[in-house]
Amino acid sequence: MSVPVLLVLDADPPPRLGSLTGRARILHTDEAGLAARLPVADVLLVWDFTSTAVRDAWPGKGPRPLWVHTASAGVDHLMCPELAASDTRVTNARGVFDQPIAEYVAALVLTMAKDLPRTLELQREGAWRHRESQRVAGTRACVVGSGPIGRAIVSTLKALGIVTALVGRRSRTGIHGPDDLDRLMARADWVIAAAPLTAETHGMFDARRFGMMQPSARFINIGRGQLVVEEALVEAVSKRWIAGAALDVFATEPLPPESPLWRVPGLIVSPHMSGDTVGWRDELGKQFVELYDRWEAGRALPNVVDKKRGYVPGH
Protein backbone atom coordinates (compact mmCIF):
# COMPACT_ATOMS: atom_id res chain seq x y z
CA MET A 1 0.00 0.00 0.00
CA SER A 2 1.48 3.31 -1.04
CA VAL A 3 1.89 6.09 1.48
CA PRO A 4 0.55 9.61 0.87
CA VAL A 5 2.78 12.18 -0.77
CA LEU A 6 3.40 15.19 1.42
CA LEU A 7 4.75 18.20 -0.47
CA VAL A 8 6.40 20.93 1.58
CA LEU A 9 6.78 24.47 0.25
CA ASP A 10 10.01 25.10 2.07
CA ALA A 11 11.33 27.94 4.14
CA ASP A 12 14.51 28.05 6.19
CA PRO A 13 14.71 26.30 8.60
CA PRO A 14 12.58 23.43 7.28
CA PRO A 15 9.96 21.72 9.48
CA ARG A 16 10.89 18.77 11.64
CA LEU A 17 8.83 15.91 10.24
CA GLY A 18 10.89 12.89 11.31
CA SER A 19 7.90 11.36 13.09
CA LEU A 20 6.19 10.97 9.71
CA THR A 21 8.93 8.69 8.38
CA GLY A 22 7.31 5.68 6.73
CA ARG A 23 3.89 7.31 6.96
CA ALA A 24 4.39 9.87 4.19
CA ARG A 25 6.66 10.30 1.20
CA ILE A 26 7.95 13.78 1.87
CA LEU A 27 8.93 15.97 -1.06
CA HIS A 28 10.36 19.45 -0.75
CA THR A 29 10.05 22.29 -3.22
CA ASP A 30 10.75 25.96 -3.59
CA GLU A 31 8.45 28.45 -5.29
CA ALA A 32 9.86 27.71 -8.74
CA GLY A 33 9.18 23.96 -8.50
CA LEU A 34 5.75 24.12 -6.86
CA ALA A 35 3.60 24.06 -10.00
CA ALA A 36 5.34 20.97 -11.38
CA ARG A 37 5.01 19.00 -8.15
CA LEU A 38 1.47 19.92 -7.11
CA PRO A 39 -0.15 17.16 -9.24
CA VAL A 40 1.66 14.37 -7.37
CA ALA A 41 0.88 15.64 -3.86
CA ASP A 42 -1.86 14.36 -1.58
CA VAL A 43 -1.07 16.95 1.07
CA LEU A 44 0.59 20.35 0.77
CA LEU A 45 2.28 21.97 3.75
CA VAL A 46 2.82 25.68 3.12
CA TRP A 47 5.74 26.14 5.47
CA ASP A 48 6.80 29.31 3.65
CA PHE A 49 3.74 31.31 4.68
CA THR A 50 5.16 34.52 3.20
CA SER A 51 4.98 33.05 -0.30
CA THR A 52 2.15 33.63 -2.78
CA ALA A 53 3.34 30.74 -4.96
CA VAL A 54 0.31 28.57 -4.16
CA ARG A 55 -2.05 31.26 -5.39
CA ASP A 56 -0.11 31.41 -8.65
CA ALA A 57 0.44 27.67 -9.17
CA TRP A 58 -2.93 26.24 -8.13
CA PRO A 59 -4.86 27.08 -11.36
CA GLY A 60 -2.56 24.83 -13.42
CA LYS A 61 -3.31 21.43 -14.96
CA GLY A 62 -3.49 18.08 -13.22
CA PRO A 63 -4.73 16.77 -9.86
CA ARG A 64 -4.44 18.89 -6.74
CA PRO A 65 -3.77 17.97 -3.09
CA LEU A 66 -6.74 16.86 -0.99
CA TRP A 67 -5.55 18.96 1.94
CA VAL A 68 -3.52 22.17 2.24
CA HIS A 69 -2.17 23.36 5.57
CA THR A 70 -0.53 26.74 6.04
CA ALA A 71 1.79 27.43 8.97
CA SER A 72 0.11 30.79 9.59
CA ALA A 73 -3.11 32.24 10.90
CA GLY A 74 -3.92 34.13 7.69
CA VAL A 75 -4.72 32.37 4.41
CA ASP A 76 -4.90 35.34 2.04
CA HIS A 77 -1.43 34.52 0.65
CA LEU A 78 -2.62 31.22 -0.85
CA MET A 79 -6.30 31.68 -1.70
CA CYS A 80 -7.36 31.97 -5.33
CA PRO A 81 -10.76 31.37 -6.99
CA GLU A 82 -9.75 27.90 -8.17
CA LEU A 83 -8.69 26.77 -4.68
CA ALA A 84 -11.78 28.34 -3.13
CA ALA A 85 -14.02 26.42 -5.56
CA SER A 86 -12.23 23.08 -5.11
CA ASP A 87 -12.96 20.21 -2.71
CA THR A 88 -9.54 20.65 -1.10
CA ARG A 89 -9.62 21.27 2.63
CA VAL A 90 -7.53 24.17 3.89
CA THR A 91 -6.38 24.41 7.50
CA ASN A 92 -4.37 27.04 9.33
CA ALA A 93 -2.19 27.40 12.42
CA ARG A 94 -4.97 28.75 14.61
CA GLY A 95 -4.00 28.53 18.29
CA VAL A 96 -0.22 28.86 17.99
CA PHE A 97 0.00 32.64 17.81
CA ASP A 98 -2.90 33.84 19.97
CA GLN A 99 -1.21 34.51 23.31
CA PRO A 100 2.17 35.62 21.93
CA ILE A 101 0.44 38.26 19.79
CA ALA A 102 -1.71 39.35 22.73
CA GLU A 103 1.43 39.82 24.85
CA TYR A 104 3.04 41.81 22.03
CA VAL A 105 0.03 44.11 21.81
CA ALA A 106 0.14 44.65 25.56
CA ALA A 107 3.84 45.47 25.28
CA LEU A 108 3.11 48.04 22.56
CA VAL A 109 0.35 49.63 24.63
CA LEU A 110 2.66 49.96 27.63
CA THR A 111 5.55 51.14 25.45
CA MET A 112 3.51 54.00 24.04
CA ALA A 113 1.71 54.87 27.27
CA LYS A 114 4.96 55.01 29.24
CA ASP A 115 6.88 56.81 26.45
CA LEU A 116 9.63 54.19 26.44
CA PRO A 117 11.00 55.08 22.98
CA ARG A 118 11.75 58.60 24.21
CA THR A 119 13.30 57.23 27.41
CA LEU A 120 15.72 55.13 25.38
CA GLU A 121 16.57 58.09 23.14
CA LEU A 122 17.34 60.26 26.16
CA GLN A 123 19.44 57.48 27.69
CA ARG A 124 21.56 57.34 24.53
CA GLU A 125 21.95 61.12 24.76
CA GLY A 126 22.86 60.95 28.45
CA ALA A 127 19.99 63.37 29.18
CA TRP A 128 18.08 63.34 32.47
CA ARG A 129 14.62 64.62 31.60
CA HIS A 130 11.77 63.88 33.97
CA ARG A 131 8.37 63.34 32.34
CA GLU A 132 4.91 62.10 33.23
CA SER A 133 3.51 58.99 31.56
CA GLN A 134 0.02 57.73 30.93
CA ARG A 135 -1.83 55.30 33.17
CA VAL A 136 -3.38 52.49 31.09
CA ALA A 137 -5.88 51.21 33.66
CA GLY A 138 -9.23 52.78 32.90
CA THR A 139 -8.43 53.59 29.27
CA ARG A 140 -10.57 52.14 26.46
CA ALA A 141 -9.56 49.72 23.72
CA CYS A 142 -11.44 48.76 20.58
CA VAL A 143 -10.21 45.40 19.26
CA VAL A 144 -11.30 44.68 15.67
CA GLY A 145 -11.37 40.96 14.88
CA SER A 146 -13.20 38.48 17.11
CA GLY A 147 -11.17 35.37 16.35
CA PRO A 148 -8.86 33.64 18.85
CA ILE A 149 -6.17 36.33 18.47
CA GLY A 150 -8.63 39.16 19.07
CA ARG A 151 -10.12 37.38 22.08
CA ALA A 152 -6.65 36.75 23.55
CA ILE A 153 -5.84 40.45 23.12
CA VAL A 154 -9.04 41.42 24.95
CA SER A 155 -8.26 39.05 27.83
CA THR A 156 -4.70 40.34 28.17
CA LEU A 157 -5.68 44.02 28.03
CA LYS A 158 -8.39 43.46 30.61
CA ALA A 159 -5.68 42.19 32.96
CA LEU A 160 -4.10 45.65 32.67
CA GLY A 161 -7.37 47.27 33.68
CA ILE A 162 -8.22 48.43 30.15
CA VAL A 163 -11.91 48.60 29.27
CA THR A 164 -12.25 46.60 26.06
CA ALA A 165 -14.79 46.30 23.25
CA LEU A 166 -14.49 43.48 20.70
CA VAL A 167 -15.81 43.95 17.16
CA GLY A 168 -16.59 41.00 14.88
CA ARG A 169 -18.29 40.34 11.58
CA ARG A 170 -21.68 40.17 13.33
CA SER A 171 -23.17 41.20 16.65
CA ARG A 172 -23.69 38.57 19.36
CA THR A 173 -23.21 38.23 23.11
CA GLY A 174 -20.01 39.98 24.14
CA ILE A 175 -19.13 41.03 20.59
CA HIS A 176 -20.13 44.17 18.70
CA GLY A 177 -21.05 44.11 15.03
CA PRO A 178 -19.57 46.26 12.24
CA ASP A 179 -22.25 48.92 12.70
CA ASP A 180 -20.76 49.76 16.11
CA LEU A 181 -17.19 50.18 14.88
CA ASP A 182 -17.21 53.90 14.14
CA ARG A 183 -18.79 54.74 17.49
CA LEU A 184 -16.33 52.56 19.41
CA MET A 185 -13.31 53.90 17.53
CA ALA A 186 -14.36 57.48 18.30
CA ARG A 187 -14.29 56.71 22.05
CA ALA A 188 -11.22 54.48 22.15
CA ASP A 189 -7.75 55.28 23.45
CA TRP A 190 -6.40 52.20 21.65
CA VAL A 191 -7.66 50.82 18.33
CA ILE A 192 -6.21 47.39 17.58
CA ALA A 193 -6.58 45.71 14.19
CA ALA A 194 -6.65 41.91 14.45
CA ALA A 195 -9.07 41.05 11.63
CA PRO A 196 -8.43 38.62 8.79
CA LEU A 197 -7.90 40.06 5.33
CA THR A 198 -11.06 39.68 3.25
CA ALA A 199 -12.83 41.73 0.60
CA GLU A 200 -14.80 43.41 3.39
CA THR A 201 -11.81 44.28 5.58
CA HIS A 202 -9.38 45.42 2.86
CA GLY A 203 -8.54 49.09 3.48
CA MET A 204 -11.07 49.40 6.31
CA PHE A 205 -8.77 51.71 8.29
CA ASP A 206 -8.69 54.74 6.03
CA ALA A 207 -8.59 58.53 6.33
CA ARG A 208 -12.22 58.68 7.42
CA ARG A 209 -11.72 56.27 10.29
CA PHE A 210 -8.42 57.78 11.43
CA GLY A 211 -10.16 61.16 11.32
CA MET A 212 -12.82 60.04 13.77
CA MET A 213 -10.31 58.85 16.39
CA GLN A 214 -9.46 61.02 19.38
CA PRO A 215 -6.25 63.11 19.10
CA SER A 216 -4.96 61.23 22.16
CA ALA A 217 -5.69 57.79 20.68
CA ARG A 218 -3.22 55.30 19.22
CA PHE A 219 -3.57 52.65 16.52
CA ILE A 220 -1.99 49.18 16.45
CA ASN A 221 -2.06 46.70 13.55
CA ILE A 222 -1.05 43.07 14.07
CA GLY A 223 -3.59 41.69 11.57
CA ARG A 224 -2.73 42.22 7.93
CA GLY A 225 -1.01 45.18 6.30
CA GLN A 226 -3.75 45.59 3.70
CA LEU A 227 -6.31 46.35 6.40
CA VAL A 228 -4.77 49.83 6.52
CA VAL A 229 -4.52 52.57 3.95
CA GLU A 230 -0.90 53.32 4.83
CA GLU A 231 -0.80 56.77 3.24
CA ALA A 232 -3.76 57.80 5.40
CA LEU A 233 -2.04 56.53 8.55
CA VAL A 234 1.16 58.41 7.71
CA GLU A 235 -0.86 61.60 7.37
CA ALA A 236 -2.86 60.97 10.56
CA VAL A 237 0.25 60.42 12.70
CA SER A 238 2.38 63.11 11.01
CA LYS A 239 -0.32 65.75 11.44
CA ARG A 240 -1.08 64.57 15.00
CA TRP A 241 -4.67 63.67 14.21
CA ILE A 242 -3.86 60.71 16.43
CA ALA A 243 -1.15 60.43 19.07
CA GLY A 244 0.75 57.54 17.57
CA ALA A 245 0.68 54.09 16.00
CA ALA A 246 2.48 50.76 15.90
CA LEU A 247 2.58 48.48 12.86
CA ASP A 248 3.82 44.89 12.78
CA VAL A 249 2.37 44.10 9.34
CA PHE A 250 2.55 45.98 6.05
CA ALA A 251 1.11 45.97 2.54
CA THR A 252 4.61 45.18 1.21
CA GLU A 253 6.95 42.98 3.24
CA PRO A 254 9.80 43.39 3.90
CA LEU A 255 9.03 47.09 4.26
CA PRO A 256 11.10 48.89 1.59
CA PRO A 257 13.83 51.25 2.88
CA GLU A 258 12.23 54.13 0.99
CA SER A 259 8.86 53.72 2.73
CA PRO A 260 7.87 56.86 4.67
CA LEU A 261 6.59 54.62 7.48
CA TRP A 262 10.17 54.23 8.74
CA ARG A 263 10.52 57.93 9.42
CA VAL A 264 7.19 59.03 10.94
CA PRO A 265 7.69 60.39 14.48
CA GLY A 266 5.40 58.52 16.85
CA LEU A 267 5.12 55.42 14.64
CA ILE A 268 6.65 52.14 15.81
CA VAL A 269 7.66 49.70 13.04
CA SER A 270 8.40 46.03 13.73
CA PRO A 271 9.14 43.30 11.14
CA HIS A 272 6.06 41.02 11.37
CA MET A 273 7.28 39.39 14.57
CA SER A 274 4.41 39.78 17.03
CA GLY A 275 3.59 36.07 17.11
CA ASP A 276 7.11 34.70 16.78
CA THR A 277 8.39 33.62 20.18
CA VAL A 278 11.28 31.28 20.93
CA GLY A 279 10.33 27.79 19.73
CA TRP A 280 7.43 28.92 17.54
CA ARG A 281 8.56 26.91 14.51
CA ASP A 282 8.70 23.74 16.60
CA GLU A 283 5.13 24.45 17.76
CA LEU A 284 4.00 24.86 14.16
CA GLY A 285 5.67 21.59 13.17
CA LYS A 286 4.14 19.75 16.13
CA GLN A 287 0.71 21.13 15.28
CA PHE A 288 0.97 19.91 11.69
CA VAL A 289 2.03 16.41 12.77
CA GLU A 290 -0.97 16.24 15.11
CA LEU A 291 -3.24 17.30 12.26
CA TYR A 292 -1.60 14.71 9.98
CA ASP A 293 -2.34 12.03 12.58
CA ARG A 294 -6.02 12.93 12.42
CA TRP A 295 -6.06 13.14 8.60
CA GLU A 296 -4.30 9.77 8.28
CA ALA A 297 -6.86 8.19 10.63
CA GLY A 298 -9.78 9.67 8.70
CA ARG A 299 -10.83 11.86 11.62
CA ALA A 300 -12.24 15.36 11.27
CA LEU A 301 -9.66 18.14 11.07
CA PRO A 302 -9.83 21.21 13.30
CA ASN A 303 -8.90 24.67 12.00
CA VAL A 304 -10.71 24.14 8.68
CA VAL A 305 -10.91 27.45 6.81
CA ASP A 306 -14.10 28.62 5.13
CA LYS A 307 -12.47 29.25 1.77
CA LYS A 308 -15.11 31.71 0.63
CA ARG A 309 -14.84 33.81 3.79
CA GLY A 310 -11.10 33.45 4.28
CA TYR A 311 -11.00 32.38 7.92
CA VAL A 312 -12.00 29.59 10.31
CA PRO A 313 -15.71 30.07 11.16
CA GLY A 314 -17.31 29.55 14.53
CA HIS A 315 -16.09 32.64 16.39
Enzyme catalytic residues:
224, 253, 272
Residues 6+ apart with CB under 8 A from 309: 198
Residues 6+ apart with CB under 8 A from 120: none
Residue 228 to residue 294: CA distance in whole angstroms: 37
| Listed residue (287, 294, 238) closest to 262, CA to CA | 238
Residue 188 to residue 306: CA distance in whole angstroms: 31
Residue 195 to residue 294: CA distance in whole angstroms: 28
Residue 72 to residue 284: CA distance in whole angstroms: 8
Q: Cα separations (Å) of 74 from 96, 182, 206?
A: 12, 25, 21
| Listed residue (301, 311, 309, 314) closest to 89, CA to CA | 301
Direct distance between the N- and C-terminal alpha carbons of the chain, in angstroms, rounded to an integer = 40
Where do the DSSP E strands lie in the chain?
5-9, 25-29, 43-46, 67-70, 89-91, 140-144, 163-167, 190-193, 218-221, 244-247, 267-269
Q: Cα separations (Å) of 19 from 6, 23, 278?
A: 13, 8, 22
Residue 45: exposed, middle, or buried by beta-carbon count in 10 A (0-12, 13-18, 19+)? buried
Residue 66 to residue 86: CA distance in whole angstroms: 9
Radius of gyration of the chain from its Cα atoms, rounded to whole angstroms: 21
Residue 163 to residue 61: CA distance in whole angstroms: 53
